[in-house]
Amino acid sequence: AKLPERLATVVVYALALTPFGYLERDGTNGEVGNDGDGDDATHRQISRYSTKAGVDDLVRHVTALGRFGDTAFLVTMYGSGELSQAFCRSGAVYGSTYMLRRSPLAISLEESRRVRGVVLSGEEHIGESDDVDTEDVSDQTLFCEHVVVPSTMMCSSKGSKALQTRIYRRVCILQGKLVLDQEKDDSKGGSDTEQRYAIIIPPGTGGLGNKSAIHGVVADDSVCVAPRGKDYTVLHLTTSSRGDDGAPDELFVNAMSKAVEFLVVSQPTREDTAPIKELHHISFSYCTETPIFDEKDGIDSGGSMSGLHVCYRDGQSLTCDSAFREAKRIFERICPDSDFLALAKKVEDAILYRDEHDSDDEKMVLESACTMIQAPTAETPVLDDNVQANMSDV
């Protein structure tokens, strides 16, 4: 049975989390509904979202429910930058080497067009332009069999089939709580309401003129992205446009600006609290180019160069799932006989057979840290008996 349009909108945009989906319109106003002139052809639906893709996205969301909480989402403490930091620290533990103060210049190839290595520049200077704090200023070639590079460092091929998307972002600093839970005790004016929410605004929402969905993430000091106790909220908004859209950038920027105004105005106010307001915001955009996946041949990540793996950035997404999918795709090309994200055998054995006294589990580390920072009290003597005896002898 066919779902009603309102329910289908919830499934496609709020559960499958697609930015475009199946409700994209040909109408000039970009809004859902009839424009009053009786010409329904101007609002015919464009199917850009396959049933298979929708089912896959829906199953991915539903199967993630209830694993770590009430929702299917996890949010990082101190911002999304912790993800890249965690990757770097994990890589260092497993033997990765980081070349600091050097920039990649070129990829060295053999005559057979197989990757030979990476050419790095000499160490860059720190300080004034005339200061030289290193003697290693010559270029250096690191030999390797595989190189992973982002797609932004590769020249676009004219014959390649790729989906171009421009991503628009708006980051806002708000004073006050954007979402108030009416079921909680509001005796303190909602000041204790943690702000950890995902917001979905479907395409064509009346008055906004958004041609694609607007994804929002709301966070506050409960995840350490705002000063604690200052009642600030951080709001991230994201929307996007297709490469063949042809609409001006102002349309998408204005849509996000109107979305902020709508979210602020729509929140209930109390007599004992000041209304929420936007203190500062910054907007920017960037382009992404994702190759069209061929189920038969896959993605030709390196063109005619063997050992070169191109990492593509996904379009608009509320989650980081696409980064894991890209990592798995490249990993399987480099290590086809190994399991992705599997614990190394040597590390697993070391954890299984390590001495209890050598353990550095979280409890022992926390207890040690608390002991070091704890100030001595009046009831606890700072000096032991031996030290006191020696001082009295003197």
- pLDDT tens-digit series, residues 335-346: 998 888 887 666
| pLDDT one-digit tens code per residue, 145-203 | 999 998 888 776 554 566 788 999 999 999 988 887 655 554 444 445 788 899 999 98
Rounded Cα distance between 53 and 46, Å, is: 15
- Across 70-79, 167-176, 322-331, 354-363, least confident range: 354-363
Question: Hey, which of 149-153, 188-192, 348-352, 384-388 has the most confident mean pLDDT?
Answer: 149-153
Report yes or no: 120 and 140 within 8 Å, Cβ to Cβ.
yes
Compare 161 and 63 and report the one with higher pLDDT. 63
The one-letter code for the residue type at 138 is S
pLDDT at residue 224 is higher than 70: yes
Under a CB-based contact definition with an 8 Å cutoff, are residues 61 and 72 in contact? yes
Determine the 3-state secondary structure of 59 from DSSP.
helix
pLDDT at 97: 85
With tokens 């694993």, the residue in question is 67
- Residue predicted with more confidence, 202 or 384: 202
Query: How do residues 244-303 score in pLDDT, each as one tens digit?
Result: 777 888 999 999 999 999 998 887 766 666 788 899 999 999 888 777 655 444 554 555
Alpha helices in 225-341 (DSSP H): 249-266, 321-334
pTM of the model: 0.73
Cα separation of 216 and 369, whole Å?
38
Say which residue, 372 or 207, is predicted with more confidence: 207
B/e letters for 185-217, b = 16+ CB within 10 Å, e = fewer, are ebeebbeebebbbbbbbbbbbeebbbbbbbbbb
CA distances from 150 to 4, 153, 330 (A): 42, 6, 12
Residue 135 pLDDT > 80: no
Mean pLDDT, the chain, integer? 76
The HSE-up count of residue 251 (CA atoms within 13 Å, CB side) is: 16
pLDDT value of position 273: 67
Q: Is the pLDDT of residue 386 over 50?
A: no
Q: What single-letter amino acid sits at 54?
A: G
Which position has the token pair 């300080």? 127
Q: What residues contact 77, with CB distance under 8 A and at least 6 apart?
A: 223, 224
Q: What percent of the chain has pLDDT over 70?
A: 67
